[in-house]
Amino acid sequence: MKDPRGAVRLVEVGPRDGLQNIRDHVPTSLKIELIRKLHRTGLRAIELTSVVSPRAVPQLADCRDVLRNDGIRHLLDQPLRLPVLVPNLKGLEVAIEHGAQEVAVFVSASEGFSRANINCSVRQGIERARAVAHRAAQHGLAVRGYVSCIFADPFDGPTSPSAVLHCVRELLDMGCYEVSLGDTLGTGAPDTVRSLVTYLVDSHVPVDRLAGHFHDTYGRAVANVWEAYRCGLRVFDSSIGGLGGCPFAPGAEGNVATEDLVYMFHSEGIETGVNILHLLRTGVWISQALSRPYATRAGRALALKHKLLPPAVHTTVQPVIHPTTKWSPVGKASNYDRLLVYRSGSNLKVVLNRPKKGNALTPNMIVDLVNLIEKCNKEPSISRIIMSAKGRFFCMGVDSPGPKSPLDQLTRLFKVIEHSPKTTIACINGPAFGAGVGLALSCDIRLSVKTAAFTVDQVGLSGGFESKPADHPVTAAELKSLGVIAEVADDVDELQDCLNKLLMRLRTSPSTASRISARLIRLIWAHIGRDGREAGVDQVNEFRSESNEMRVAIGCAQ
């Protein structure tokens, strides 16, 4: 049975987006033959190439040769959608000169990717696109728009839905007949797709002017397309054989495979106009021509079923190499008393530097920590603060030479960390005592080596200590079983790996998520064992309502 909601239109981006990230030179003749084979499958929208700087994207340096080919010019005269991606007016002139009937313009919803991709701010990128769209309209060309990084930016982290809405409105206002929403990093999930599309539609963006462009980095692209279809989208970008990626988006994998989408929609009785068998033959052909495994999901299974691939073909699984975080010193060491400060993108790491004294806090260190964290709390370019230490110990309390304990300053330090608008992480490299335990518990997330022991020298600290004598150490494993510590590593090297992986995950998650969890945990601890349980439940329910509103506002980015 045909789906009553209607057929879909697939925009094949393999010849441009699929090939641009391949390092080995792809002959122009192969690109032209790919376009011809894709057309024979029944596809009626194929992105031909991009007129970009050969230095920026060497693989597309032959764009003029592709466009002037007689076979391609014949296709340009037919009632097809064959957009050419152009970044500026110079590129537009080349497209017009070679007979293009449609061009595509693009903007990024985030500043970091915009500067890495086209070396300008989002505002400047919109103005460039507007100039191209207006000139194209004067020449009678149709204009399609792209918005990149709709969920996350490889440099800045999560993208706000309002930033996506701003770009979509600008592209529609400048004359784009539709706007393709690009999940450049592939971090989207069905719930975030629904959240964003709902937000855009509720903001009066016509759903029939939107298209979906999903990357398959985390294997969710097909599910995201289906969810977008359920939300009302009927146009989707895809790439033959799942080819693709972006040279300016580290870690981004290929586009959703055209074969997988055609199979999914046809299985649901939804028409695409594409001959699946011809498509499979094209996918196998281009994969073999590029010496790449044919790694689509449904496509590969169907190709084996139809004997388009030999059953003995095996693909080599490459080992996963986890990225490392590169830290650069911030300022001079003399700026702070016994503190080392490092920066990596939107991450700031503070390292206690009194290893011979067990990294015990001095009054000056406490003051410096308060001032530093308060400064970071006001800095919008910082999203996460990591607390760590040098040597064998994390922090063995307070080292105060005078008779008066700096309790007031210490309490202020804990509150500044606890109520920080940033995500705070304690990277615990060894034992903690007294104030060192308080420093760790003040953070939103805690990572620890397994040899770390936590000892309090006063009653009143919760988090797993209230059932222990004041001088009885609690192990990292015990605290992990209580949910107080997130990860326990075998040694310091593994602890650093845990931190790297966590920071990579947090780059594609809203910083509010960690703070929501931290506040809920503090509410639970505050009411355990007291007559105020009912009040605590009320506060938790109230906060759940608040967090749900926040979830909608931030688009539930994963």
Q: Is residue 63 flagged as an active site residue?
A: no
CB of 155 within 8 A of CB of 113? Answer: yes
Torsion, Cα 204 205 206 208, to 10 degrees, reads: -160
| Catalytic, out of 63, 246, 395, 498 | 246
Higher pLDDT, 404 or 506: 506
Is the pLDDT score of 84 beyond 50?
yes
Instruction: Compute the average pLDDT of residues 29-52.
Output: 97
Report whether pLDDT(95) > 80.
yes
pLDDT the model gives residue 516:
57
Residues of the chain above pLDDT 70, percent: 81
407 burial class (0-12, 13-18, 19+ CB within 10 angstroms)? exposed
pLDDT greater than 80 at residue 240: yes
Mean pLDDT on 265-281: 97
- The verdict on pTM exceeding 0.75 is no
Tell me how crowded residue 506 is: count the other CB atoms within 10 A of its CB.
21
| Lowest mean pLDDT segment, chosen from 175-189, 283-297, 362-376, 394-408 | 394-408
pLDDT band, very low/low/confident/very high, at 558 (cuts 50, 70, 90)? very low
- Euclidean distance between CA atoms 455 and 433, whole angstroms: 5
Higher pLDDT, 492 or 512: 492
The DSSP line for 314-382 is: --PPPPP-------EE-S-GGGSTTEEEEEETTEEEEEE--GGGTTPBPHHHHHHHHHHHHHHHT-TT-
Which tokens go with 548? Answer: 């749900």
Neighbours of 43 (CB within 10 A): 28
Phi and psi torsions of 79, nearest 5°: -75, 65
Tokens of 109: 């919803």
| pLDDT confidence of residue 552 | 34
pLDDT tens readout for residues 407-464: 888 899 999 999 998 999 999 999 999 899 999 999 999 999 999 999 876 433 444 4
Q: What is the pLDDT of residue 519?
A: 56
All structural domains of the chain, each given as residue ranges with its CATH number in brackets, are: 9-306 (3.20.20.70), 328-460+471-529 (3.90.226.10)
Over residues 192-200, the mean pLDDT reads 98
Work out the average pLDDT over 259-266: 98
CA pair distance 312, 302, nearest whole angstrom: 15
Distances (CA, A) of 508 to 1, 106, 305, 511: 39, 22, 38, 9
Give 558 or 470, the one with higher predicted confidence.
Answer: 470
Model pLDDT for residues 113-123, shown as the tens digit of each residue: 888 878 899 99
